[in-house]
Structure formats: structure tokens, C-alpha cells
Amino acid sequence: MSETTPDPLPDLETLVPRWLTLPDLVELLGVRLSTVRGLLEDRELLGVRRGERGVLCVPAGFLDDDGPIPALRGTFTVLADGGMDDAEIIRWLHTPDPTLPVAGAPLDAIRAGFKTEVRRRAMEEAF
């Protein structure tokens, strides 16, 4: 009997309210597909493969009216340096935390301007 690794995505489906595919991002940002791929490669955005066809998707909350939220990049780095993969980072950022200065998840706190507090917690979590 072989052991199987549990699928890391099921709870992401309930935590992340809206996903964007790469073509969605191209249309939303008004840029070329190569630019969107560059945002992912440079880790300004993170995505995971979803669904039966394994379509690469990015949480819509990672963007604001101007594009990728700049404060996320450093948080992604802190969590990745602590050993989290992209799915775990997305999960952490979307998991409600009642101890944050604003109601909601770390992503909500970053969007509300509490980047430093979220990064401090990310460092505690990661290391």
C-alpha cells in the first residue's frame, strides 16, 4: 500500500473567494501574457494550479486597482524563506486571524495598511 500526499488545495477553494486565470489577468491589467508570467516569475504574484486541467490561477485579492499589491512581495519572500510553498502561502494569507488589528485574514490586514504587523507574524510563523 503506498502513501499518498493529501491534496494541499481543498481548503483553498473555501478560503479564496475569487481566482483569476492568466488570461483574466491579461485582460484586467491590460498587459501581455509575457508580462503576467513575469509577475509570477518575479514573485509579485503567486498562483497555484487548480481544477481537473491544472489551470494556473492567482487569488484576485492579491491585486488592487493599480495591479499587484506591492506589500505582498516581501511577505511572500518571508514565508517562502521559512519553507512554505505557494499553496501554503496563499492559505496562510487567506486564513482568518482574530488577533490581527483588523478583522479578517493577513491579506485583509495588508490591504488595510498593516504590512509590518503581518510580516512580523509571518516571520514568527516561518521561523
Higher pLDDT, 81 or 2: 81
pLDDT above 50: residue 18: yes
Q: Which of 47, 127, 38 is nearest to 81 (CA)?
A: 127
Report CA-CA distances (Å) from 77 to 42, 68, 94: 11, 15, 16
Say if residue 54's pLDDT is above 70. Answer: yes
pLDDT at position 10:
53
Give me the mean pLDDT over the 24-43 stretch: 97
Burial class (CB in 10 A: 0-12, 13-18, 19+), 66: exposed
Q: Give the pLDDT mean for 3-21.
A: 75
Handedness of CA 108, 124, 12, 43 (dihedral sign): positive
78: exposed, middle or buried (Cβ count in 10 Å: 0-12, 13-18, 19+)? buried
pLDDT-above-70 percentage for the chain: 91
pLDDT score of 1 more than 50? no
Q: Where are the domains of the chain?
A: 16-126
What pTM was computed for the model? 0.89
